[in-house]
Amino acid sequence: MKDFKRYTIILLFFSLACSKSEVSLQDYYEWQEDESNGVHKTKTVGEIAFDMKLLSPDYLTYLELKGEKGAVTPQLKDSIMKFYENNLTFVLTIGPAEESHFDITSVGVKNYEEYAERMKQLNFGLTELLELRAGGKKWKPVIVEMENIYGLEFHRKFNIVFSPEEKADELVKLDKFTVMFDDEIFGTGTSSFGFLKSSLDKTPAIKF
Amino acid sequence: MKKTHYFLIGAVIISTSIAVYSFFATPKIAVVDFKRLVNDYQGMKDATLEYEKKMTGWNTTSDSLTDAIKNELSDYYADSAFLSKQERVNRETKIISMRNKFMEFSKGLEENAMAEDQKMTIEVVNQVLSFVEKYGNDKGYDVILGKNEGDEVLYRKASMDITNELLQALNRNYEGF
């Protein structure tokens, strides 16, 4: 009986130690922003800065359930989480480098035709320029969506989603993966953003 | 009162030492073999491969155009004895038109190849320069000199050459990890 109690306490201790800590949304943003945590990568080429963030399934589930009026059951949360776990979702921000001040939708643009072409590229052309690579395999994004901007901003944000093509769990099983962006728009060449699955696993859970 | 005096004298000595040190401190300088840095940069190797792929595609189109002209020409020679004057003129016009198209394509190809090569080089060099700036800043360098073919750097201590470590960092950055 004594042994049973002891084992129960040890098991309880381990399960508590292994469970993810729950943090507020603000703390999650702070954790995500810190590049040393591995889910946020930045690059600057010339006057253009790239910022790529890997979003956790927990955060995406949070966003989806945020507006939910009824009670969020654990089953509902788990099913949404499962969906996001099988995909890889990123946010790419393209903007001017630190000391530069220009709107990326119009930099280098000479006339209206070129502006229209730039907007077309930004709205619809990024799918062709982005690729996920891991272990010799390549995936094209299934969604690339430019976020609407309601104000004067110099940068633009893109939501990018990669989905499995053959097996549902093929992306979950990747230990490391790289998002390649072949920049034909601003002429900065190919930029790679590498991520480790272990970094995603370390992401803190968000308090719902 | 005495204590305050000692404190003031100490503060003056420390601030003077800092000012003198900053004035005479040697700037941190390093030298980089820029040509090797660019050529051994994985981004350059990948871009060159992409360029070669494009060139192969263009050359294949060029070869098929050449083959089509050759075939048309040999058919023309084989048939010429049986062709009427008008038919001969038509066939010759067709061959000349094919040849002109080929010449146009070749000229375009050359221009495209040159533009593509230039674009690739600019992109890669910009990537390298942006990284060198970040690297220099992070590592606290005051100056990083480029050792080029013209060799403006006439002498450098081997320990000042940071090409290898910079190249390693550059390639790691290219991989994105």
> Per residue in A88-117, pLDDT tens?
999 999 999 988 889 999 999 999 999 999
Confidence grade of residue B86 (pLDDT, cut at 50, 70, 90):
very high
pLDDT per residue over B105-146, tens digit each?
A: 999 999 999 999 999 999 999 999 999 999 999 999 999 999
Q: Identify the weakest region by mean pLDDT among B41-45, B58-62, B165-169.
A: B58-62
Would you say residue A14 lies in a domain? no
Residue A122 makes CB contacts below 8 A (sequence gap 6+) with A105, A146, A156, A185
Confidence grade of residue A16 (pLDDT, cut at 50, 70, 90):
very low
pLDDT of residue A17: 47
Nearest CB among A44, A189, A195 relative to B47 is that of A189
Would you say residue A17 lies in a domain? no
**Under an 8 A CB cutoff, do B122 and A179 touch?**
no
Q: Does residue A12 carry a pLDDT above 50?
A: no
Q: Does residue A130 carry a pLDDT above 60?
A: yes
CATH of the domain at A177: 2.60.40.10
pLDDT per residue over B6-58, tens digit each?
A: 878 888 888 887 777 766 678 899 999 999 999 999 999 999 999 999 999 98
pLDDT of residue B8: 83
**Under an 8 A CB cutoff, do B47 and A196 touch?**
no
Asked if B175 has any chain A CB less than 8 Å from its own CB, the reply is yes
Of A28, A205, A182, A176, residue with least CA distance to A88: A176
Amino acid (1-letter code) at residue B134: K
Give the residue from chain A lying closest to B121, CA to CA: A189
Would you say residue A67 lies in a domain? yes
Amino acid (1-letter code) at residue A151: G
Domains and CATH numbers, chain B: 2-175 (3.30.910.20)
Would you say residue A59 lies in a domain? yes
Q: Which residues of A touch B47 (CB under 8 A)?
A: 189-190
What's the structural domain count of chain A?
1
ipTM score for this prediction: 0.75
Please state, in angstroms and rounded to a whole number, the distance separating the CA atoms of residues B87 and B69.
Answer: 17
Would you say residue A3 lies in a domain? no
Would you say residue A185 lies in a domain? yes
Of A98, A111, A94, residue with least CA distance to A185: A94
Q: What is the mean pLDDT of chain A?
A: 89
Would you say residue A183 lies in a domain? yes
- Chain B nearest-CA distance from A90, in A, is 15
- Chain B nearest-CA distance from A49, in A, is 10
pLDDT per residue over A60-80, tens digit each?
A: 999 988 877 777 788 888 889
Q: Which residues of A touch B124 (CB under 8 A)?
A: 189
- Chain A nearest-CA distance from B124, in A, is 6
Neighbouring C-beta atoms of residue A179, cutoff 10 Å: 25
Give the residue from chain B lying closest to A36, CA to CA: B177
Q: Identify the weakest region by mean pLDDT among A53-67, A72-86, B145-159.
A: B145-159
Would you say residue A169 lies in a domain? yes
Q: B42 - beta bridge partners?
A: none
Asked if B115 has any chain A CB less than 8 Å from its own CB, the reply is no
pLDDT of residue A127: 96
